[in-house]
Amino acid sequence: MALGLASSTLSATQSDAPPPFPVATITGGIGNAMGWFGAQGEGYFAHGRLSAFGGVGYTPAVDDFDPSGITVAAGLRGYTGGRKHRGFAEASACQVATLSDPLEPKRFYGPCLQVGYQLASRGGFTFVLSTGVGYAVGAAAEYGNRAQGLVGLGLGYTWRRRNAEASSSGAGAQ
């Protein structure tokens, strides 16, 4: 009886502890930071509070004269506290806009700023949602507004650092 009570108390204590720090995340979805329709890999540092990411995807031609092809993005994120639910701010270089043209369709890259939300469950399931603004470098004023709205939506998996703190601190050894 005492052994069963002790093990259930230990399980409850472990599940109440925050998840370990994230190490890496892979997501797939849509958005400028994922290469429009693509995937993104993210590596964390500074106890999961900062990350660097790269995205690769595909921009499809929706109309006859739209540009299409492989699209890339790269940037940095800073996260709020928390390990499961957290907000972030992002600075990146990504494809901001496209120009339909029968002679020379164009794609424009530029600096991008986004804010967003990440849910990374203890089991690894990850959901990412973001919005922001980008500036289309090289786009002439006659093409329209160089500043464009950005969005992102992704689903994926987050790997976490093994929780070595409990075993190295001597917790549970009595």
Does residue 140 carry a pLDDT above 90? no
| Domain presence at residue 51 | yes
CATH number at residue 41: 2.40.160.20
Mean pLDDT, residues 101-121 taken together:
94
Q: How far apart (Å, rounded) are the C-alpha atoms in residues 126 and 116?
A: 13
| Domain presence at residue 100 | yes
| Domain presence at residue 138 | yes
Distances (CA, A) of 140 to 87, 96, 133, 144, 145: 34, 14, 18, 8, 9
**What's the predicted TM-score (pTM) here?**
0.81
| Domain presence at residue 172 | no
| Domain presence at residue 90 | yes
Handedness of CA 116, 121, 124, 127 (dihedral sign): negative
| Domain presence at residue 88 | yes
| Token digits of residue 129 | 């949602």
| Domain presence at residue 173 | no
Measured from the Cβ of residue 128, the count of other Cβ atoms closer than 10 Å reads 25
The number of domains in the chain is: 1
pLDDT the model gives residue 64: 87
| Domain presence at residue 15 | no
pLDDT the model gives residue 70: 96
List the beta bridge partners of residue 133: 113, 149
For 136, residues 6+ apart whose C-beta sits below 8 A from its C-beta are: 96, 97, 108, 109, 110, 143, 146, 147, 148
**Domain range for 85:** 20-161
Question: What does the pLDDT look like over 5-37, one tens digit per residue?
Answer: 444 444 444 567 888 999 999 999 999 999 999
Do residues 116 and 128 make contact, with C-beta atoms less than 8 angstroms apart? yes
Question: What does the pLDDT look like over 86-109, one tens digit per residue?
Answer: 999 999 999 999 888 899 899 999
HSE-up of 171 (CA within 13 Å, CB side)? Answer: 10
**High-pLDDT (> 90) share of the chain, %:** 64
Q: Is the model more confident about 64 or about 156? A: 156
